[in-house]
């Protein structure tokens, strides 16, 4: 009887250990995937970087992968990505922060109950639908009212701005909500109005969380592909105005990867590296700010 | 001076209200525009017939099947791994180096844009493992992509289970795994399922990663996981970017929106269910 029990207990311990190892493995999969992504993409891009040098890619205006001599300048695409992202933030930041303040401080419950699911849904709509919608509505509208082909930085900025909204709203609202109650109560007790309290007490206290929201929104917008590819026109040249066509880094990879071979394909992986490094950089800054702000 | 304060307060309130209204209107306008243009083109034939003439005529049946396969592979692999990772992080690992490291990498993975997953999946699954453009390659790429969503949501759900449940179970002599599996997981189930649904939503919405890994030319019903497949999002992208047929594109977009809405409502309903349960 005694022996039987210990054997059972041993078995149970063994199973427990196996399961723990299995769970640990599952937890480590995420780490593994990140390393695989870095290893594979960087290994592909490295040979051409060694051959032509970093500045050939970063400070070169010519993208002529099939010419002789080849030109792998990514600068037009980098400029394009930042132009569209900057435009998107011009729309999404003020609107998103206003909406976050509204939801956190002023909205009556019935309004918040309608807006919050709406924001969630906005985050859930596939990016290709945003792109298609913009292609059918914004692009003809811009063409008729402002001239040009309609496919433009403006169209790309508008659609990416809408897409960045839910993320900025969610994080900014969290940041505003995590401002300690006492701050607000103190201000209100001193006779400040609700708006004065928000403007002079709550928003300054939530500053770093809101900044994190903006940077995360920027990282997200830089990485967006399918919406911007449908409305930006995709010519690899430096744009002159907001009505010019533009090609982003993401669109650049998506458009040419299908038929690229040899060094051309490797140069596209360099574009992937640039995108990855910039986004990871922004993301870690945002996370560091967010953690320090104490929001959860 | 007092009136200036009052005017500022009033103006601020109006601006904030307007911002909320703008956001709801944009959402409404997008959905209305797509659905009102697409609904009439959807009929039984559209849902059950294969496309003809590159998608200009016929339906989207192979595309629906392809979407189910690719998303199915992603969820079958991504969801269990994600849930188990979350169990490890909340139930097994004490707050320490492992948890911090894993969480950092989960955050990193969440920030990787879908096109980067796409080129990674293309290099690793399609070329290095030589699986070609296939449902398996696409599904596994998406599985990597939905991991962070599943892990984070599941972790939240597991953390919300009161410690008294854990202590009670452990005090009765149950092992850590028995406690996790039979006590914690069942009471966190709605939250865990919400995480899986959010993962499905992310997988269905993606286009950039799928079209580089699952292929886009296939317009026949796939028969095995080694076949290429085209998902709804990729089909919509092809129809729209090549200007093949906007009527069919609207209809495809409408099908996508309906699926996303259904997933969204289910997740919402489950979250409400969980909140009610916790209050009792």
* CB-based contact A254 B268, cutoff 8 Å: no
DSSP bridge partners of A246: A233
Pair A2, A10: CB distance under 8 Å: no
CATH class of A74-295: mainly alpha
Residues of A in contact with B90 (CB under 8 A): none
- Same-domain pairing of B25 and B131: no
Considering the domain architecture, whether residues B7 and B130 belong to the same structural domain is answered as no
Give B22's Cβ-side CA count (13 Å radius): 20
Chains A, B: CB contacts within 8 A come to: 234
Residues B139 and B157 in one domain: yes
Write out chain A residues lying below 8 Å of B268, CB-based. 117, 120
Using the Cβ of B258 and the Cβ atoms of chain A, whether some distance falls under 8 Å is answered with no
Distance (Å, whole) CA B34 – CA B246: 11
Q: Quick check: B101 and A44 CB within 8 A?
A: no
Nearest to A280 by CA among B162, B105, B85: B105
Q: What is the pLDDT of residue A125?
A: 94
Q: Which domain holds residue B158?
A: 42-279
Cis amide prior to A8 (ω within 30 degrees): no
Helix (H, G, I), strand (E, B) or coil at B129: coil
* H-helix or E-strand spanning residue B192: helix B189-205
Give the pLDDT confidence score for residue A2 in this predicted structure. Answer: 53
Which residues in chain B touch residue A234, judged by CB atoms under 8 angstroms apart? Answer: none
A140 in helix, strand or coil?
A: helix
Q: What is the dihedral of CA B149, B70, B58, A138, to 10 degrees?
A: 30
Residue A53: other Cβ atoms inside 10 A: 12
Same domain, B245 and B268: yes
**Looking at the DSSP assignment, which residues form a beta bridge with residue A63?**
A72
**Whether residue B35 is found in the same domain as residue B84:** no
Q: Are B125 and B102 in a shared domain?
A: yes
Q: What is the pLDDT of residue B278?
A: 65
**Is B26 within 8 Å of chain A by CB?**
yes
> Kindly report the CA angle at A83 between B119 and B104, in degrees rounded to 5?
50
CB contact under 8 A, B34 and A280: no
Closest by Cα among A284, A280, A266 to A41: A266
In this structure, are B139 and B19 located in the same domain? Answer: no
Are B250 and B240 in contact by the 8 Å Cβ rule? The answer is no
Phi, psi angle pair for B174, to nearest 5°:
-70, 150
Q: Please, are residues B206 and B114 in contact by the beta-carbon 8 Å criterion?
A: yes
The whole-angstrom distance between A98's CA and the closest CA on chain B is 5
Do the chains contact at B112 and A37, CB–CB below 8 Å? yes
Q: Which chain B residues have a beta carbon less than 8 Å from that of A288?
A: none
Please give the distance of CA A137 from its chain centroid, rounded to a whole number: 24
Structure tokens at A248: 């982003």
Q: Are residues B49 and B157 in the same domain?
A: yes
Q: How many domains does chain B have?
A: 2
CA atoms within 13 A on the CB side of A239: 26
Q: Which two tokens stand for residue A204?
A: 């300054």
Q: In chain B, positions 151-210, which contact chain A (CB-CB < 8 Å)?
A: 151, 175-177, 201, 204-208
Give the model confidence (pLDDT) of B206-249 as tens digits. 999 998 998 876 678 888 888 888 899 999 999 998 888 888 89
User: How many whole angstroms separate alpha carbon A257 and alpha carbon A265?
Assistant: 6
CB within 8 Å: A132 and B101 = no
**Are B16 and B151 contained in the same domain?**
no
Q: Do A128 and B233 touch (CB under 8 A)?
A: yes
Beta strands per DSSP E along chain A: 63-64, 71-72
Do B6 and B86 share a structural domain? no
Rounded CA-CA distance B122/A132 in Å is 25
Of A29, A165, A219, the CB nearest to B85: A29
Nearest one of A220, A108, A136 to A171, comparing CA atoms? A220
Among residues 113-152 of chain B, which lie with CB inside 8 Å of chain A? 113-120, 122-124, 128, 144, 147-148, 151
Q: Pairing state of beta strands B57-58 and B51-52?
A: antiparallel
Give pLDDT, residue A271.
94
Domain of B68: which CATH number? Answer: 1.10.3720.10
Per the CB < 8 Å rule, is A279 touching B84?
no
**Closest Cβ–Cβ partner in B37, B108, B260 for A124:** B260
pTM given for the model:
0.92
Read off φ and ψ for residue A246, nearest 5 degrees: -150, 150
Q: What's the pLDDT tens digit per position in B184-194?
A: 888 888 889 98
**pLDDT at residue A296 in the model:** 45
Q: Residues of chain A whose pLDDT is less than 50?
A: 1, 295-296
* Nearest CA distance, B45 vs chain A (angstrom): 23
Residue A9 and residue B73: Cα distance in Å, rounded? 37
In chain B, what residues touch A199 (CB-CB under 8 Å)?
A: 12
Examine the domain organization and report whether B171 and B50 are in the same domain: yes
B63 three-state secondary structure: helix
Output the six-digit token pair for B200.
């499905």
Which residues from chain B sit within 8 angstroms of residue A259, using beta carbons? none
CB-closest option in B17, B115, B123 to A225:
B115
Of A27, A124, A135, the CB nearest to B102: A27
Substitution target from B10, B120, B122, B211 for chain A, most A beta carbons within 10 A: B120
Do B5 and A196 make contact, defined as CB atoms within 8 angstroms?
A: yes
Residues of chain B with pLDDT under 50: none
Q: How far is A160 from chain B (nearest CA, A)?
A: 13
Q: Are residues B75 and B144 in contact, defined by beta-carbon separation less than 8 angstroms?
A: no
Instruction: Note whether B200 and B226 are same-domain residues.
Output: yes
Q: Is A225 helix (H, G, I), strand (E, B) or coil?
A: coil
- Six-digit token pair at B169? 């179970």
- Report CA torsion sign: B272, B87, A167, A257: negative
């Amino acid at each position: 009887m005694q022996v039987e029990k210990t054997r059972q207990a041993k078995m149970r311990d063994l199973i427990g250990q196996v399961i723990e190892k299995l769970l640990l493995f599952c937890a480590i999969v995420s780490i593994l995937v990140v390393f695989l992504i870095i290893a594979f993409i960087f290994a592909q891009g490295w040979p051409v970087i060694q051959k032509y040098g970093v500045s050939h890619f970063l400070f070169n205006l010519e993208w002529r992968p099939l010419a002789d001599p080849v030109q792998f300048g990514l600068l037009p695409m980098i400029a394009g990505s930042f132009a569209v992202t900057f435009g998107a933030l011009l729309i999404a930041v003020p609107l998103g922060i206003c909406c976050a303040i509204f939801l956190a401080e002023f909205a009556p419950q019935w309004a918040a109950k309608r807006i919050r699911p709406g924001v969630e849904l906005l985050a859930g709509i596939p990016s290709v639908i945003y792109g298609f919608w913009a292609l059918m509505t914004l692009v003809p509208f811009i063409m008729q009212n402002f001239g040009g082909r309609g496919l433009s930085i403006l169209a790309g900025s508008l659609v990416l701005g809408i897409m960045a909204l839910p993320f900025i709203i969610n994080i900014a609202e969290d940041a505003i909500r995590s401002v300690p109650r006492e701050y607000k109560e103190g201000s209100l007790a001193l006779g400040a109005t609700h708006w004065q309290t928000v403007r002079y007490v709550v928003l300054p206290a939530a500053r770093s969380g809101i900044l994190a929201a903006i940077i995360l929104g920027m990282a997200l917008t830089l990485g967006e592909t399918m919406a911007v590819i449908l409305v930006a026109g995709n010519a690899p040249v430096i744009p002159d105005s907001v009505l010019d066509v533009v090609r982003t880094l993401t669109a650049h990879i998506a458009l040419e990867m299908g038929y690229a071979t040899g060094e051309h394909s490797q140069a596209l992986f360099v574009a992937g590296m640039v995108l990855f490094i910039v986004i990871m950089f922004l993301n870690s800054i945002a996370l560091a700010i967010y953690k320090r702000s104490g929001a959860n | 001076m007092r009136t200036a304060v009052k005017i500022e307060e009033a103006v601020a309130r109006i601006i904030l209200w307007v911002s909320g209204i703008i956001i709801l209107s944009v959402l409404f306008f997008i959905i209305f525009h797509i659905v009102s243009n697409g609904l009439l083109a959807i009929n039984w034939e559209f849902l059950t017939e294969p496309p003809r003439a590159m998608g200009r005529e016929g339906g989207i049946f192979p595309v629906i099947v392809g979407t189910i396969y690719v998303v199915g592979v992603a969820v079958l692999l991504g969801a269990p791994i994600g849930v188990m990772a979350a169990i490890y992080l909340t139930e097994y690992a004490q707050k320490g180096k492992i948890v911090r490291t894993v969480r950092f990498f989960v955050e990193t993975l969440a920030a990787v844009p879908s096109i980067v997953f796409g080129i990674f999946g293309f290099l690793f699954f399609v070329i290095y493992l030589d699986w070609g453009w296939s449902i398996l390659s696409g599904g596994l790429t998406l599985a990597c992509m939905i991991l962070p969503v599943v892990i984070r949501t599941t972790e939240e759900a597991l953390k919300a289970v009161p410690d008294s449940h854990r202590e009670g179970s452990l005090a009765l002599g149950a092992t850590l795994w028995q406690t996790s599996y039979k006590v914690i997981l069942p009471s966190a189930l709605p939250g865990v399922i919400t995480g899986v649904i959010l993962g499905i939503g992310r997988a269905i919405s993606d286009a950039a990663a799928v079209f580089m890994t699952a292929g886009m030319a296939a317009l026949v019903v796939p028969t095995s996981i080694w076949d290429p497949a085209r998902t709804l999002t990729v089909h919509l992208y092809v129809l729209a970017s090549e200007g093949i047929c906007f009527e069919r594109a609207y209809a495809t977009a409408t099908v996508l929106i309906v699926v996303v809405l259904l997933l969204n409502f289910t997740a919402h309903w489950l979250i409400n269910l969980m909140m009610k349960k916790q209050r009792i």
